[in-house]
Chain A
């Protein structure tokens, strides 16, 4: 009981301190730049201000979101998600799978056991794909960074579009009846195991919060350097690259830039943490939001290493269909954004 009070009190205190600091970041960066005898009117001053403001802002947002996600993860395990998806039909199943992809703990290194485990418990192939597309693409790191650097509207749009791509790609793969393009031994396993109830063990709140902190240590500990590098590069672009530099390359009028952005994104294997700050800076130099969004989704959702891992369970044809369907979805999203905004 006493321990529980301590945890809740600590959380409240941390939240208050967080808000207090967060509201003072912009002014703080201004003061720091001023103390160095620089002003925002010179390129170096502008770049430095950008860096000093964005790095702590993004790190603070990330810490808060990742902590919350860590706590959510104690309620939704991969096993539980599987139990909920087992035997679902295409359609509703795809939507549920895409939505669960956001909150279920997922690591791309477990993609294969997860994929087989889902099929084993009778989750349809199309529904499994919806989950497998949504889980890495719509993740908490990407959302926190988008929220921090682009605002909540873009973060929400990204989430909606990511879910849309996951649902539709899963539906298409399900409709195409690609089951025969699974590797033989995987096909034999389909529907062979019981999904179980997957209800995670009961946990007290302090333990959940401890798990949340552990998640922060793990995720923020892994991506902070990428954020530093990404924002640093972004700051350079921000201060030195001329306005409208990107307009001809990644602007709205260049129709070919969306598919090109997706193609370039596939072999690039970076996480959201490194790519989003750079992309944000490009946006300020005349790149169109849809093109930038498509590039980002392609880097995050379609990575060459992941395809190589999936080759163990999928025949080449199914991998090609998977990549093709997801890439087309992303291109569509890119064009839609460019048209609407």
Chain B
């Protein structure tokens, strides 16, 4: 179970990101809780400069753009604990 937050004040790109995240979650069968954060004070507590931003388990993974489906696939992975995921082709872990 991962906690996904989408930070954005309701611009077109923010909705695009929300849709893309939902699609990626459905495609990969990820168990996730998705929350849209629209309050500017809450958004600023993550110290991001541009929206929409994607936060996974409290960590800002992307800001200011809508990542491609491929990228989302690796961005939505839970934080790698310890080390080394064997046989993984994604460079984002470890």
- A interface, CB within 8 angstroms of B: 78-79, 82, 105, 107, 109-110, 112-114, 116-118, 120, 185, 189, 193, 309, 312-313
Residue from B9, B12, B13, B47 in contact with A193 in the complex, judged by beta carbons closer than 8 Å: B47
**Chain B minimum-CB-distance residue to A192:** B47
Contact among A114, A185, A309 with B49 in the assembled complex (CB-CB below 8 Å): A114
| Cross-chain contact A117 with B44 (CB below 8 angstroms) | yes
A113, B11: Cβ atoms closer than 8 Å: no
Residue B25 is within 8 A (CB to CB) of chain A in the complex: no
Report if B74 contacts A (CB, 8 A).
no
Given A78-B64, A107-B64, are A113 and B41 also a contact pair (CB < 8 Å)?
no
Q: Interface on B for A, CB 8 Å cutoff? A: 8-9, 11-14, 40-41, 43-44, 47-51, 64
**Distance in angstroms between the alpha carbons of A112 and B38 in the assembled complex:** 12
B2 to A: closest C-beta gap in Å: 23
Beyond A109-B11, A110-B64, A112-B9, is A312–B47 a contact (Cβ under 8 Å)?
no
- Given known A109-B9, A112-B40, contact A120–B47 (CB-CB < 8 A): yes
- Evaluate contact between A113 and B13: CB separation under 8 angstroms: no
Closest to B44 in A: A116
A177 to chain B, nearest CB (A): 23
Q: How far is the CB of B9 from chain A (nearest CB, A)?
A: 7
Whether B49 lies near A82 (C-beta < 8 A) is yes
Q: Are A78 and B47 in contact (CB under 8 A)?
A: no
A247 to B40 Cα, complex, angstroms:
47
CA distance A79 to B47 in the complex (A): 10
Assembled-state Cα–Cα distance A113/B51 (Å) = 7
Give bound CA distance, A185 to B43, whole Å: 13
User: 12 additional contacts, CB 8 Å, given A82-B49, A117-B47, A185-B41?
Assistant: A78-B64, A79-B49, A105-B64, A107-B13, A109-B9, A109-B14, A109-B51, A110-B64, A113-B43, A116-B40, A193-B47, A312-B40
Bound form: Cα–Cα A289–B13 in Å: 36
What is the distance, in angstroms, from A74's C-beta to the closest C-beta of chain B?
12
Residues of A with C-beta under 8 A to B12: 109
Q: Is B51 touching A110 in the complex (CB atoms < 8 A)?
A: yes
Q: With both chains docked as a complex, state the minimum distance between the C-beta of B55 and any C-beta of chain A, in angstroms.
A: 13
Instruction: For residue B24, give the distance in angstroms from its CB to the closest CB of chain A.
Output: 18
Q: Which residues of B contact A79 (CB under 8 A)?
A: 49
Q: Which of A78, A185, A309, A313 interacts with B50 by CB under 8 Å?
A: A78
Instruction: Give the distance to chain A from B53, nearest Cβ to Cβ, in Å.
Output: 8
A110 to chain B, nearest CB (A): 4
Q: Quick one: given A109-B13, A110-B64, A112-B9, are A189 and B49 in contact (CB under 8 Å)?
A: no
Q: Whole-angstrom distance from the CB of A221 to the nearest CB of chain B?
A: 13
- B68 closest partner in A (C-beta): A214
